[in-house]
Structure 1
Amino acid sequence: AAIVRAVAYRTLLFRVVRREQEHPVQRPVPDGTHRLTVVLPAYREVDRIGETVTRVRTELGERLGGTPDALQIVVVDDGSDDDTYGAAAAAGADTVVRLEVNSGKGAAVRAGVAAATGRTIAFTDADLAYSPAQIADLVTLVEDGYDMVVGSRRHTDTRTLVAAGRIREAGGRLVNLATHALLLGQYHDTQCGLKAFRADAARDLFDASRLDGFAFDVELFHLAERWRLSLAEVPVEVEHSDRTTVSVVNDGLRLVADLMRVRQAARRGDYPNPTQHGAPTDG
């Protein structure tokens, strides 16, 4: 009976949290010299990052109107032992940040957010599994009042142009199941590599985040729930790459361990409340 009550209570919380998050809230436009900053975390991407920067500049810049203040591209070289840094700079990235040691995707995106000057801040993967032009759709929703807009590969309207391998697909589904033990909202895909935020919300989230690895996405969702930030899930067009630095087994195990750390930190009250951190409270 106790288990049934706990499940019923948690199901009710699922619905309440998502209902609160689904509504955008109009607030003053955050400060920023660019309309959008795109953060590209990169590790050992010397032979690909130049093309990535060029495509983001061309395809996304066109969608944003092509004005000089429309787009800032920030590449974060996550301690690569090749010349990813130089290749990104040569391709015309506005800012290139170099981490001295390989610290993880979460650390790289956090460093990129710190360097961002956009009123909206988005991040995506260097392999451009998600075509740059579709970032503009996320920007529109952020400007309409959402604090956080996330792509979802599980959305009914998502189009998969090139499917992931079976092992990677199975690993992704297991990760999503694991996240349901931590998060209240029934999100379809926490690990999609396409997300955008109001700049002030992004800074608050990453200032409060602790995880440097792949589980940092889940931590962001947890903080968004805690602070009642508005959040929209949107369909994407995805073209999986056969080249990846992700190990399904090793990174999957590390992710589960990180999920437990988030859960323990939340239980201890280690994460700030909205009023403690200055995060929006009316979203």
Structure 2
Amino acid sequence: MDQSSLLYGALTLVILALSSLYVALVIWSPPPIVTRDSETKYLSNAYPKKPRPLAKLADPSTVDLTIVVPAYNETERLPIMLASTIAHLTSPALKNKRTFEIIIVDDGSSDNTSAAALKLTAKYPKCDVRVVTLEKNLGKGGAVRHGMLFGGGERLLMVDADDASRFTDLELLWEAMDKIAPGHGAGVVVGSRAHLVKTEAVVKRSLLRNILMYGLHTILRIVGVGHIRDTQCGFKLFSRAAAQQIFPAQHLPTWIFDVELLLLAKQLRIPVAEVPIQWHEVPGSKLNVVSASLQMLRDLLIVRANHLLGRWKATPSKAKSD
């Protein structure tokens, strides 16, 4: 066999290998997230039986703050979280100074989370607490995305239903947002637990969880968000201008979606600030560390490959900050 034949054969193998990898990427990439008509409406204490239409992220804001709470089988932990959230938002220091809405997104729960959440709204008749039920379980990322796409806030906060983060630390995020995105500018502020790494809050976590944490940090540096010390804290604040660019471009519905949000912010040149917050471990996590680790690695590779190849991209907003 002459040299040209060998070169041709090698080139053919390379093309076949690259084609196979591209096909695998297309197959493994999550399909577009479909929003059903029932999911564009909410129930509340004021409207317990007649669904009302949600706001749309593309429209102008209607309140100062939207709090998005993804909830999957959270009948036990949700009451505590909601109580601490509303206690802060209605405290004398903030009362009548900041309008807000709370959107609880039931991610296809099997424990009647929606019914329990709707019952809870009766405890807070003067607060705008909305319950949205997804017809099928999407994953935490899908639930957060849905709440954001239908939030009316000038700023939008994602917060976990387990009350692990101290809600009063919202004010720290708010101050940071004022600095990086004054007026109606685009900005993201990330609540961070990085300062707690050597404290009991993290040391007492299981060995597997800590291994996962350090492994994740290594991979994040490789994929391009190593500048953020804690990507996974479920306490993040977005300006409306940032949310309008980021969330329509989000593809991952799984728990590693936070990394995709930060990659999109970096791609869009949206400023991101990281603020230390208080946090504590709460029993009842539904995360399986072994399967989550494998899924994490796969999803990070999928995100990075799709962005590098241009299959997934975000469109910068033409709106200018004030």
Short-chain TM bin: 0.7 to 0.9
SS for the counterpart of 2:236 is strand
From the superposition, tell whether residues 169 and 281 of structure 1 become closer, same or farther in structure 2 (CA, over 3 Å): farther
User: Which stretch of structure 1 is more off in the superposition, 155-164 or 71-80?
Assistant: 155-164
Code of the residue aligned with 2:81 in structure 1: it is: T
From the superposition, tell whether residues 175 and 91 of structure 1 become closer, same or farther in structure 2 (CA, over 3 Å): same
Q: Is the 8 A contact 2:268 2:316 kept in 1?
A: no
Question: Quick one: which of 80, 85, 106 aligns to 1:51?
Answer: 80
1:154 aligned residue: 194
Question: Quick one: which of 152, 155, 158 aligns to 1:123?
Answer: 158
CA distance in 2, matches of 1:279, 1:160: 46
For 1:135-214, list aligned pairs within 5 A. 135-146=170-181, 147-155=187-195, 161=201, 163-214=204-255
CA distance in 2, matches of 1:193, 1:280: 28
* 1:200 Cα offset (Å): 2.1
Q: Is the 8 A contact 1:164 1:241 kept in 2?
A: no
CA distance in 1, matches of 2:233, 2:145: 17
- Say how many residue pairs are matched: 251
* 1:37 Cα offset (Å): 1.1
From the superposition, tell whether residues 44 and 279 of structure 1 become closer, same or farther in structure 2 (CA, over 3 Å): farther
Task: Calculate the aligned-residue CA RMSD, in Å.
Answer: 2.4
Code of the residue aligned with 1:77 in structure 2: it is: D
TM-score by length of 1: 0.81
From the superposition, tell whether residues 64 and 141 of structure 1 become closer, same or farther in structure 2 (CA, over 3 Å): farther
CA distance in 1, matches of 2:198, 2:90: 23
Q: Is the 8 A contact 1:124 1:195 kept in 2?
A: yes
* 1:102 Cα offset (Å): 1.2
From the superposition, tell whether residues 166 and 279 of structure 1 become closer, same or farther in structure 2 (CA, over 3 Å): farther
1:104 aligned residue: 139
Gaps of 5+ in 1: 1-29
CA distance in 1, matches of 2:171, 2:198: 16
In the alignment, does 2:270 pair up with 1:229?
yes
SS for the counterpart of 1:180 is helix
SS for the counterpart of 2:136 is coil
Q: Deviations over 1:159-198 (max 9, x none)?
A: 7657433321221221121111111552211111111010
Question: Quick one: which of 74, 77, 86 aligns to 2:103?
Answer: 74
Q: Is the 8 A contact 1:52 1:126 kept in 2?
A: yes
1:240 aligned residue: 281
* 1:69 Cα offset (Å): 5.2
Q: Which structure has more RCO (C-alpha within 8 Å, separation ≥ 6)?
A: 1
* 1:157 Cα offset (Å): 10
* 1:257 Cα offset (Å): 0.5
* 1:229 Cα offset (Å): 0.7
Q: Is the 8 A contact 1:157 1:235 kept in 2?
A: no
SS for the counterpart of 2:180 is coil
CA distance in 1, matches of 2:137, 2:294: 18
From the superposition, tell whether residues 230 and 90 of structure 1 become closer, same or farther in structure 2 (CA, over 3 Å): same
CA distance in 1, matches of 2:104, 2:147: 7
CA distance in 1, matches of 2:154, 2:165: 21
Work out which of the two has the higher radius of gyration on C-alpha atoms and give 1 or 2. 2
CA distance in 2, matches of 1:161, 1:267: 37
1:9 aligned residue: none
Q: Is the 8 A contact 1:60 1:135 kept in 2?
A: no
* 1:130 Cα offset (Å): 0.3
1:249 aligned residue: 290
User: Which stretch of structure 1 is more off in the superposition, 91-100 or 117-126?
Assistant: 91-100
CA distance in 2, matches of 1:268, 1:63: 51
CA distance in 2, matches of 1:169, 1:279: 42
CA distance in 1, matches of 2:92, 2:271: 25
From the superposition, tell whether residues 204 and 73 of structure 1 become closer, same or farther in structure 2 (CA, over 3 Å): same
1:269 aligned residue: 310
